[in-house]
Amino acid sequence: MDILVCVKRVPDTAENEISVNGSGTDIERDDLVYSVNEWDNYAVEEAIQIRDKVGGSVTVISVGDSESEEVLRREMAMGADKGILISDGAFEGSDGKGLAVILKTAIEKDKYDLIFTGAQADDGAGQVGGMLAAMLDLPYASLVNFIEVSDDKKIKIGREIAGGQQEIDEIDLPCVLSIQTGINEPRYVGIRGIRKVASVEIPVLGASDLGIDQGLVGSAAAKVSRVDYFMPALGKGAEILEGSIEEKADKLIELLKSKGGIK
Amino acid sequence: MAFQIFTYILHKDGVVDDTAAEMAAAAAKLDPAASVTAIVVGSKTDPVCSSLTASFKEVWKIDNDALAYPNSEVIRGLLANVIPKGSIVLIAHDHFGMDLSPGLSVKLDGAYLPDAVGFEGIEGGKLKAVRQEYSGQVSTHVLCDISGGAVITIRPGSFTALAAGSAGGSVVDKTGDALTSGMPGGKRRFVEVIEAEVGDVDITKSEVLVSIGRGIGEQENIEIVNELAKAMGGDVSCSRPIIDAKWLEKSRQVGTSGKTVKPKVYMALGISGSFQHLGGIKGSPFMVAVNKNPKAPIFQVADIGVVEDLIEFVPMLTEKINEMK
Ligand SMILES: Cc1cc2nc3c(=O)[nH]c(=O)nc-3n(C[C@H](O)[C@H](O)[C@H](O)COP(=O)(O)OP(=O)(O)OC[C@H]3O[C@@H](n4cnc5c(N)ncnc54)[C@H](O)[C@@H]3O)c2cc1C
């Protein structure tokens, strides 16, 4: 089974407090810690487990700037066989469709039985996998939290639906799946693992290498574009307890008592 | 120019989902002059369709026994057969909408705007919308060129439902048009739905929930929360990363893909406040958030906020409660 996993380098929200910069044009990027998108990491782990069971290969691919190489290397340290970086100034400002076009062009250069994306990334859009499938005319399933490879024509999958229920489907190969967290337990990657793949060459492909129709990508083709960032104001806002940590605990206990929170 | 807007209706067991009235509100906000058509796909949908005629001028029905379970691979093909290019299609951003919509926007050759939480008007063919990124830590304004049509998913709960009016709408049967070339989407076949596991504690019945998120840091720290829950007479629940790490049973997860809870008091400890988590909390409980990040989105929805490291704060709180008792 030859498996391709699309991965993205993102600010690690578990490590960072994300805030807006002074002019609202971007998030504050100084001191941000980056890592691989959490959902993509589960997708790579799943691909590796399938390959180890039935044979084949795992390729990780990323569209991004030169720094995205580090996440490809990290996923190769996990066990992916090959990395491909797609990078070109002409891709800047692409919307979801533009990204899907870029990936589609790269995917058509090879043959894959399974194509994975994460269920979503830092922008919460969850769009590239579904678009890619439609452009490649392949079947698609999102939020996949279970995969059983039965034969080389079709596989059995589970999708996460509402309220902890799971939808079981059968899907023909090749197909595109977006992978949900919790499908497996991604292995730990240590410094030593990363060192091992430090000198493996990762090819970098640009628009002309891929032969991409430049009218379909980049900011000029984008139908969706971000104007600015701002801090959300959803509700009325909590009353923030002030004082020392002890005083906060005392105040909270009084409030909890009055609301029936201490039985 | 007025837009032709379609809204995809979610329904189950003959009952229209709450999001239908929210989609109607979103459509009205997008373009008050637009004609809005509801689309119902399923099997034995007549009761659903007729109940929608109070809210929509036109209700399109695509009805067939093979459509009893909503398989989005099938439905995408059907919709692409009947929805004219250039239309705007509104769909709820849930597990079904996420499955259906990105590909539908490719089929209809329109823009795709995912998970919108607000609309702020149209200028020169471009819709200004509000989205969130980084699990709700920041918001963005985006411009979406809808002049050539668009598929837009709407976050459930972000538009206030329109009360059913007296639209006096009519039902149009589109089944024939949708199925002109047979049933599409045969490459993904629905097999079954597996029900959620039943756990040792039913958190949907708890009056006091002490809920933990990724901020708990390590599995062994859960003990301090167990003790707080015991002191308060409540139960422990959690956000999704705790389940993904297999630190607690799936039946303890609160949220859209977990349980819907209705406690009197909800303690959110080290939980950032993503909409998928908040979507599982109903009945406006008294909510306390403990988080070391003063900008965490949870503080916008909680009643009381404590900006502290929970690893320090929780044991102190437990001790004080136990002393008082
Ligand atoms: C289709 C789909 C369905 C989903 N369904 C659900 C669902 O049902 N339920 C759910 O919960 N999520 C669900 N999610 C995931 C959701 O998007 C978020 O990723 C998740 O809710 C985040 O959990 P969290 O708040 O615990 O973690 P994070 O967002 O990482 O937040 C951790 C918080 O802890 C704080 N913190 C860290 N250390 C400390 C400390 N020592 N003391 C105090 N505070 C600290 C941080 O400041 C941060 O605010 C779903 C996602 C998708 C895509």
> Is the same domain home to B48 and B160?
yes
Q: Where are the beta strands (DSSP E) in A161-242?
A: 166-172, 175-179, 204-205, 224-230, 239-240
Per the DSSP assignment, residues forming a β-bridge with B42 are B63
Say which of A175, A223, A245 has its CB closest to residue B308: A245
Can you give the CATH number for the domain in which B279 is found? 3.40.50.1220
- Structural contact between residues A119 and A9, judged by C-beta atoms closer than 8 angstroms: no
- Per-residue pLDDT tens over the stretch B108-146: 999 999 999 999 999 889 999 999 999 899 999 999 999
Name the burial class of residue B175, with classes exposed (0-12), middle (13-18) and buried (19+) by CB atoms within 10 angstroms of its CB: middle
The reply to whether A191 touches chain B by the CB within 8 Å rule is no
Q: What are phi and psi of A228, to 5 degrees?
A: -160, 170
- Per-residue pLDDT tens over the stretch B22-51: 999 999 999 998 889 999 999 999 999 999
Instruction: Write out the H or E segment, with its range, that includes residue B290.
Output: strand B286-290
Q: How many structural domains compose chain B?
A: 2
Q: How far apart are CA B225 and CA A186, in angstroms?
A: 26
Q: Which two tokens stand for residue B76?
A: 């995408």
Is B196 within the bounds of a domain? no
CB pairs under 8 A between A and B: 278
- Per-residue pLDDT tens over the stretch B184-199: 989 999 999 999 988 8
Q: Is A19 close to B138, i.e. CB distance below 8 A?
A: yes
Return mean pLDDT, chain A: 95
The pLDDT assigned to A263 comes to 78
- Structural contact between residues B98 and B210, judged by C-beta atoms closer than 8 angstroms: no
> Is the same domain home to B150 and B293?
no
Can you give the CATH number for the domain in which B71 is found? 3.40.50.620
Q: Collect all residues of chain B within an 8 Å Cβ-Cβ radius of residue A141.
A: 73, 99, 188
Q: How far apart are CA B25 and CA A169, in angstroms?
A: 34
Of B143, B178, B213, the last residue of a domain is B178
What is the distance in A from the centroid of ligand 1 to the CA of A52?
Answer: 31
Is B189 within the bounds of a domain? no
Q: How far apart are CA B177 and CA B199, in angstroms?
A: 46
| Band of residue B183 on the pLDDT scale cut at 50, 70, 90 | very high
Q: How far apart are CA B115 and CA B92, in angstroms?
A: 8
Q: How far apart are CA B96 and CA A189, in angstroms?
A: 34
Burial B56-88 (b: 16+ CB within 10 A, else e): bebbbbbbbeebeebbbbbbbbbbbbbbeeebb
Minimal-distance CA residue of chain B relative to A246: B316
Q: Is A259 close to B265, i.e. CB distance below 8 A?
A: yes
The pLDDT assigned to A235 comes to 66
Tell me which residue of A125, A137, A134 sits closest to A222, measured CA to CA. A125
The pLDDT assigned to A150 comes to 84
Closest residue by CA, ligand 1 atom 29? B272
> Is the same domain home to B48 and B174?
yes
Minimal-distance CA residue of chain A relative to B146: A223
Is B242 within the bounds of a domain? yes
Q: Which two tokens stand for residue A254?
A: 């009084």
Q: Which domain holds residue B134?
A: 5-178
Q: For chain A, what percent of residues have pLDDT higher than 90?
A: 89
Residues 6+ positions from B105 with CB-CB distance below 8 Å: A97, A131, B111, B112, B150, B151
Of B178, B211, B227, the last residue of a domain is B178
Q: How far apart are CA A203 and CA B162, in angstroms?
A: 53
The identity of residue B59, as a single letter, is V
Say which of B110, B207, B295 has its CB closest to residue A17: B295
Q: Which two tokens stand for residue B27?
A: 């459509």
> Is the same domain home to B140 and B267?
no
pLDDT greater than 70 at residue B279: yes
Is B163 within the bounds of a domain? yes
> Is the same domain home to B136 and B210?
no
Taking each helix axis as running N to C, give the angle between helix A128-136 and helix A96-107, from 0 to 180 degrees, rounded to the nearest 10: 50
The 8-class DSSP code of residue B100 comes to H
- Structural contact between residues B305 and B268, judged by C-beta atoms closer than 8 angstroms: no
Is B244 within the bounds of a domain? yes
Kindly list the domain boundaries of chain A, sorted by start residue: 2-221, 236-263
The pLDDT assigned to B163 comes to 83
Q: For chain B, what percent of residues have pLDDT higher than 90?
A: 92
> Is the same domain home to B13 and B140?
yes
pLDDT greater than 70 at residue B89: yes
> Is the same domain home to B107 and B13?
yes
Per the DSSP assignment, residues forming a β-bridge with B147 are none
Is B195 within the bounds of a domain? no
Q: Is B138 close to A231, i.e. CB distance below 8 A?
A: yes
> Is the same domain home to B20 and B167?
yes
Instruction: Write out the H or E segment, with its range, that includes residue B120.
Output: strand B118-123
Atom of ligand 1 nearest to the CA of A124: 53
Helix (H, G, I), strand (E, B) or coil at A19: coil
The pLDDT assigned to A234 comes to 59
> Is the same domain home to B160 and B241?
no
- Structural contact between residues B30 and B119, judged by C-beta atoms closer than 8 angstroms: yes
Is B198 within the bounds of a domain? no
Say which of A169, A232, A235 has its CB closest to residue B190: A169
Helix (H, G, I), strand (E, B) or coil at B244: helix
The 8-class DSSP code of residue A27 comes to B
> Is the same domain home to B128 and B226?
no
Class of domain A2-221: alpha beta
In this structure, the residues whose C-beta lies within 6 A of any atom of ligand 1 are A 13-14, 119-120, 143; B 95, 135, 213-215, 217, 239-241, 253-258, 270-272, 274, 276-277, 280, 290-293, 296, 309-311
Per the DSSP assignment, residues forming a β-bridge with A59 are A4, A82
Q: Collect all residues of chain B within an 8 Å Cβ-Cβ radius of residue A235.
A: 300-301
Number of neighbouring beta carbons within 10 Å of residue A143: 26
pLDDT greater than 90 at residue B1: no
Region B92-102: mean pLDDT is 98
Residues 6+ positions from A15 with CB-CB distance below 8 Å: A33, A35
- Structural contact between residues B39 and B7, judged by C-beta atoms closer than 8 angstroms: yes
- Per-residue pLDDT tens over the stretch A9-35: 999 987 788 989 999 999 999 889 999
Q: Which two tokens stand for residue B159?
A: 């538009």
Is B281 within the bounds of a domain? yes
Q: Is B141 close to A226, i.e. CB distance below 8 A?
A: yes
> Is the same domain home to B73 and B152?
yes
Instruction: Write out the H or E segment, with its range, that includes residue A157.
Output: strand A154-160
The reply to whether B230 touches chain A by the CB within 8 Å rule is no
> Is the same domain home to B54 and B159?
yes
Tell me which residues of chain A, numbers 71 to 110, contact chain B at a CB-CB cutoff of 8 Å: 95-97, 100
